[in-house]
A = this chain, B = another copy of it.
């Protein structure tokens, strides 16, 4: 369950620009702010079921986008490579010159 939450947080981060404002609101209350379905329902004056259905549909959409664009998967692979690259650096001059580039690549994600 925690794993699913982490995954949804990432997928939401990568694809939220493709969602509607309502989808974005529900998802962000549920996954980022950890509100319950009931609390979100109250906040938006809709039924708990409506919130549940909307979030389920949005989760499926996010998974479909990931299947097509692989942004999360590529992010994980890139992070792994950048960490391995960093592990090879020392305190020599070349390492010091290379570090800012690695930082810049990480900031792009």
Residues of chain A touching chain B, judged by Cβ–Cβ distance below 8 Å, are 15, 17-18, 68-69, 71, 74, 77-78, 81-82, 84-85, 88-90, 92, 94-95, 97-98, 101, 104-105, 108
Determine whether the beta carbon of B17 is less than 8 Å from that of A69: yes
Chain B nearest CB from A16 CB (Å) reads 9
Copy count, this protein chain: 2
Determine whether the beta carbon of A88 is less than 8 Å from that of B94: yes
Determine whether the beta carbon of A74 is less than 8 Å from that of B17: no
Residues on the B chain within 8 Å of A90, using CB: 94
User: For residue A65, which residue of chain B has the nearest CB?
Assistant: B18
User: For residue A75, which residue of chain B has the nearest CB?
Assistant: B108
Tell me the bound Cα distance from A77 to B105 in angstroms. 9
